[in-house]
Every structure is written in C-alpha cells, then in structure tokens.
Structure 1
Amino acid sequence: MTGSASELARRLGDHAEAVCREYLSNGHRSGNHWMVGDVRNTRGRSMHVRLKANAKGAAGKWVDEANGQHGDLLDVIEHSCGLVDFREVADEARRFLAMPLPPPQPQTQTHGAQGQTAAARGSSGAARRLFGMSQPIAGTLAERYLAGRGIVLSISERALRFHPGCYYRDLVTDETQTLPALIAAVTSLEGRITGLQRTYLSPWLDPNGKVGKAQLADPRRSLGHLLGNGIWLGLQPGVPVPVMAAGEGFETMASLRTVMPALPVAAATSANHLAGLIFPSGCRRLYIAADADAAGRHGIERLSQRAGAAGILALELRPRLGDFNDDLRHLGPTHLAAWLGDQLVPEDARLFLPFE
C-alpha cells in the first residue's frame, strides 16, 4: 500500500463508525465492532469491522469469518460502491473525509467494442451514461409515482428522468432483474452530473391506482461521487443562491419544492453527505429539513456548524408528522405552507410561499 493509501485508510479509521454507517448500511454496531454480511454490504453478521483501535489492531480493519477475507476501509469503499480503479476509490474516500482532491492525473481510457469509453462500474461516468439512456418523466410511471406522493414539480426540472428497465442486483442472493426506476441526478454546483439515485418502482398499480416502490429490501440505491454534491432542484449554475434549503431525502426536499417552487433545494441522499454539502456562492440563509424522529441528527448538526463558520445563517425546518412528504400527503399543500410560514424568516415566507 502506498503512503497516500495508508494515510487515507488511517483517516478513515478515525471515523470508522461513520464510514460503516455510510457504506455498510445493512449492518449494525455491536460493542466495538460493526457487523454486516460482507464487504459488499450484504445483510448478515459474518464480517466484523473494528471501530476503535485496541491491542488487536487499528480501527477500520475488518475480517469476514465466512471466507477469511480481510482488509481496511478503502476496501469497504471499493467493494460497496462497485468501484474498479483505485483512483476512484481514493477520490470517494477524500470526498467522504471532505479533503481537497489532488490535481487530476492523465488517465488511460478503455474502449469497448463500439469505440465508446467504458465507464467503471459505480463511477460518475456510469452515472452520466445511465442518465443519458433515461427519458424525461412526463407521462411515465415516475411522474405517476411522484404524483401519488403529492409531489408536483415543474417540467423544467432537469434532474429527474425515468428508465423503464433499470438493472437491479440483489446483494444477498446475487439474482438480477430489470425494473422501472425514477432516476435523480446528483450534480455539482456547476451542473455536472457526478452520481445519481435510483428509486425502483413497481411495474403494477396498487389497489388505489397509484405507483409504489418495488417490493425490494433496498428499493433506493445511489452510485457515483455524492459527497459535497446533491440532487438539486431549482439550481441555475453560476447564479448566486442567497436562500436555499437542504435535507437528506429526495422526497422530503421535492415536497418542500412543491409548496415553495421558487426556492432552490438540495437532497444530499444521506446524513453524512448532508454534512458535507458544498454551499453555493452568495448563500446567506440555509434552511435544513429535519425529520420528526431526529434521524440523521449528526448530519444536520455538522452542516449547521459548517454553515455558521462560512457566515451563513442556518435554520431548521421541522415537519408536523414524520417528514415533509407525510405532511404534504396527509395535510395537503395549503396546510404545509401555513406550517412552514411560521418557521421561515418573514421576508422568505412572503417571497417563497405562494399560498400565503
């Protein structure tokens, strides 16, 4: 292992539990270990990740008792994200740690049979290719799914697409199938696609005539480079964003966008990614969407601290029910707008709430 790699592994080990919660989300903590099925994030208990250094070794070291495999947290990132090139593994680790990226290095491209550059599985290139193969959501199951959740967005939103037969692999059985999916692009502030999130949908309507999520253990999956970036709705690259909202889940932020269609919002896809979201230029006020059960609290607190250090006023928005999509569906947009109006700075309420 190179000095750079060993240093990355050590720094990841300093945040071993956070790394496990992000990349081995199907596991759980047990004493000084994180228990999970294997390094690909399969459900189970055969793989143990040491969370704190002790006499047996450094934090972040792991062993899979089922097959004898062992390694460090760089291996976890590589296998759980499906990455191939070590450069991408290191980049993802640095993004997680919010480290500055090294200068880009020239890279050799691999070409397929048709002469196209092959994107490494799980990379930003793979995300851009999948997004490019998808179609606008108008008239699709994706639009019907969102409408069933009470979410109505402008047709000008470019972050959303639909794929009628998106590849899905069961991480436990290794069986594969294709399913319709809502595709949400994760982008940088410059508008470049760095990753995406797939929400797998049922191909059949439920008894109420609505489209639901596919009956899967994990119907929502992400790929690509996510940390610092987000699923942006209403962002215009290069245009200052004085007021914005950010949160963990896409449907939470799309619900806020439904009742505040002029407010730019970002969904970070996870608590750790929320903590590392990069602020747009000119940002003065940041509303952070929280869930009623305070899940992902550490992400909210870290983002608030970073905002304060950058001179940005951070304010929390709290739902009445479990989350803002619950509020939208069960209370309706008018009641949700009134509830938000009491939490916004008065000038923002006048500017962003058309129901006021």
Structure 2
Amino acid sequence: MDKPATDIAHRLASHAEAVCRRYLSQGRREGRYWLVGDARNTPGRSLYVRLAASPDGRGAAGKWTDAATGEHGDLLDIIALSGGHDQLRDALDEARRFLSMPLPEPSADVPRPRLGKVPTGTPEAARRLFAASKPITGTIVEAYLRKRGLADLRGHDMLRFHPHCYYRPSEDDAAGTRAAWPAMIAAVTDGDGTMTGVHRTWLDPATFEKAPIATPRRAMGNLLGHGVRFGVAGEVMAAGEGIETMGSLRSIMPAMPMIAGLSSAHLAGILFPATLRRLYVARDDDPAGNAALGALTGRAMAAGIEVVPLSPLFGDFNEDLQLLGDARLCAAVREQLMSDDGNRYLVPPG
C-alpha cells in the first residue's frame, strides 16, 4: 500500500466504529468488535472488525477478518468493497470525503492503480486440496463428528480429512501459532455437482474439538449461491448454515436433500434448484439466523417456493441433538414438518 493509502487507512482506524456504522450498516457492535455478514455489507456475523487495538498490542483497530472465507484487510478495503470501487483512487477519494479531507487535484496523465482483490483461493486450488485429502473413516474428522453426536456418517462423501492443512495465522492468534493442523475438508458444489470451493474446519488431535486458533473455520473458492450438499435436490429440500447443523437433521431425515450454506450471509444467497417446491430453513437461534431466514423467504416466495422454518429448541440443531438425543430431536422436528413430509422423511431412532 502506498503512503497516502497507508495514512488514510490509519485515519480511518481511529474512527473505526463510525466507518462501520456508515459502510457496514447491516451489522452491529458487540463488545470490541463490529459484526456483519461480509465486506459488502450483507447481514450476518461472519466478518468482524476490531474497533480498538487489543490490550496486548497484537491486533490493531480497523483490521477485519471474515471467518467464513478467510478474507482480511483494513477499513480502506471495506470502503472499496462495500462501495464497489475497483480503483484505489476512487476508494481513497471516498475515504477522504468521509474524513472531511480535501480531495487531491486531478491528474490526467497519471493512471489510476487498481485495487488488488482480497485473496479467497480459487476453485482450482479448492479442488486440489479436496483431491489431496482422504476419506474420514478412522480419522480425527470421524472422531470430531461423533463427539458432536453424529453417529451415522453414511452418505457423507462430501467430507474428507487432511492431516496437515495449512493455516494462515491472523493478528488475533497467539505468537507461535502452528501453521498446519488436521482439518475436515468439505466440498462446496453448485446445483450440477461441480465443485466450486471447499470449507475447512481445523481440528485439535488432543481433544477432537476445533483447533485452538482464532478462526478455526474458513472457506476458499466460489461460495456465493452454493454450499455443502447432502443428497440430490428434488421438490423438497432443507437448508441451514453449518455442516454439523445439517448433519444433525440428516441423522433423523437421511433421505431429505439438504445444503449447508456455511454462514448466515451465504445461506441467504443459496441458489434454488429448478425442481424445488418446498424449502425447510433450519435457522440458527440468533439475529443473523433470523435475518437469513427473512432474506431467503423473500427470495423463495418470489420464485414460487414455499418456505417452512425449522426452529431449534437451543442454539442450533446440533446443540439440540447433543442435549436431547435422536428421539427427542425427531419428535421436536416432526411438529414443524408438513405431515406428508414427516411421514416420508423422518426415520425415528430404532
């Protein structure tokens, strides 16, 4: 970044909350962070902006990370991405207007440098990572899922295991954080089954839990409209945010096609199969989950698709599965399904 851009980024950081309220208006403040769906101001909680420097000095004000994609940057990037500015000069001019700074004199003979895109990883790189991974049977991924209550892992071929998946530490990670961990690799596909990306969940081999790192979940590739799919979509389908959430519903409805959008923002933007007539939305019990349900309902109704919300008793359906067990989860979900779908898809625990 050149000196004028660096200076302006520092000025923006000293007004971090005001910048977020202006350019990330769909988000909200929680403690020392501003939470929103993504850098383009989508509702949700995947992206977090640090509003003040961390007490230990590791994290600077104005720095942000999108936990769903691994994107990161500063507030000048936010202004560029939320405003659709692909030229650095345009983003700088907008930042100067926000800061009430004078605009520079125009110069016709100086070309405008383009802003570099924030790296997210290409679909090709995602496919290579998935190909380098192996089935989950007998691995830490299987142990992690079983610890989350997912006992029947048949039909989970979209999930694989990588023993040493690279992790790029962020400013929120402790000094000396390992750069590689075992990971669950989930294939993100479009409606035709073409892989467009992957989702990585780094795991701790000592505990069979998520790894003790700042962002143990990140995606790469092209996620918008796509997701991690369970089964082939037909007239009825269920959609939700997390892999574990949808795996929990899959444990009691193994024949119902499902998709995990991987974040509230991406759930709201999933593409509908041409055959879809009824969509069950497994919402997370939080404001981002409510926002995703509202956005998805509006899009589906406009497409002539019936939407039926599925609400967990606790935070999400994986939490329900772990706290209630299969039988009580099955009973709670049955009450929310259309009667024909309950008879067709629900398989009560034996």
Is the CA contact (8 Å cut-off) linking 2:48 and 2:64 kept in structure 1? no
146 and 40 in structure 1: CA distance in 2 versus 1, 3 angstrom threshold: closer
59 and 253 in structure 1: CA distance in 2 versus 1, 3 angstrom threshold: farther
Is 1:22 the equivalent of 2:38? yes
**Equivalence for 1:145:** 144
- The correspondence of residues 11-50 of structure 1 with structure 2, limited to 5 A, is 17=25, 21-23=37-39, 25-27=47-49, 36-37=62-63, 47=75, 49-50=78-79
Tell me how far apart the structure 1 counterparts of residues 336 and 229 of structure 2 sit (CA, whole Å). Answer: 22
Give 1 or 2 for the bigger CA radius of gyration: 2
SS of alignment partner, residue 292 of structure 1: coil
**Equivalence for 1:203:** 205
**TM-score normalised according to structure 1 size:** 0.69
Is the deviation greater in 172-181 or in 211-220?
Answer: 172-181
Is the CA contact (8 Å cut-off) linking 1:16 and 1:60 kept in structure 2? no
Is 1:162 the equivalent of 2:161? yes
Is 1:254 the equivalent of 2:251? no
SS of alignment partner, residue 272 of structure 1: helix
Is the CA contact (8 Å cut-off) linking 1:27 and 1:43 kept in structure 2? no
Tell me how far apart the structure 2 counterparts of residues 281 and 153 of structure 1 sit (CA, whole Å). Answer: 30
Calculate the aligned-residue CA RMSD, in Å: 3.4
Instruction: Quote the offset at 1:295 in angstroms.
Output: 2.6
Is the CA contact (8 Å cut-off) linking 1:22 and 1:272 kept in structure 2? yes
SS of alignment partner, residue 273 of structure 2: coil
- The correspondence of residues 1-356 of structure 1 with structure 2, limited to 5 A, is 17=25, 21-23=37-39, 25-27=47-49, 36-37=62-63, 47=75, 49-50=78-79, 58=94, 75=115, 78-79=117-118, 82-83=119-120, 122-172=121-171, 177-205=179-207, 211-235=208-232, 241-355=234-348
The one-letter code matched in structure 2 to 1:47 is L
**Equivalence for 1:112:** none
Tell me how far apart the structure 1 counterparts of residues 74 and 124 of structure 2 sit (CA, whole Å). Answer: 33
75 and 231 in structure 1: CA distance in 2 versus 1, 3 angstrom threshold: farther
The one-letter code matched in structure 2 to 1:184 is A
Tell me how far apart the structure 1 counterparts of residues 71 and 190 of structure 2 sit (CA, whole Å). Answer: 32
The size of the alignment, in residue pairs, is 277
SS of alignment partner, residue 342 of structure 2: helix
The one-letter code matched in structure 2 to 1:22 is D
Is the CA contact (8 Å cut-off) linking 2:238 and 2:282 kept in structure 1? yes
Q: Higher relative contact order at CA 8 Å, sep ≥6: structure 1 or structure 2?
A: 2
Tell me how far apart the structure 2 counterparts of residues 309 and 141 of structure 1 sit (CA, whole Å). Answer: 43
The one-letter code matched in structure 2 to 1:214 is A
1:50-73: CA deviation from partner (whole Å, max 9, x where unpaired): 5789xx95489999xxxxxxxxxx
Tell me how far apart the structure 2 counterparts of residues 46 and 303 of structure 1 sit (CA, whole Å). Answer: 30
Calculate percent identity across the aligned residue pairs.
Answer: 40
195 and 153 in structure 1: CA distance in 2 versus 1, 3 angstrom threshold: farther
Instruction: Quote the offset at 1:315 in angstroms.
Output: 0.8
SS of alignment partner, residue 130 of structure 1: helix
Gaps of 5+ in 2: 1-21, 28-35, 40-45, 53-60, 85-91, 100-113
The one-letter code matched in structure 2 to 1:218 is T
Instruction: Quote the offset at 1:155 in angstroms.
Output: 2.9
Is the CA contact (8 Å cut-off) linking 1:244 and 1:287 kept in structure 2? yes
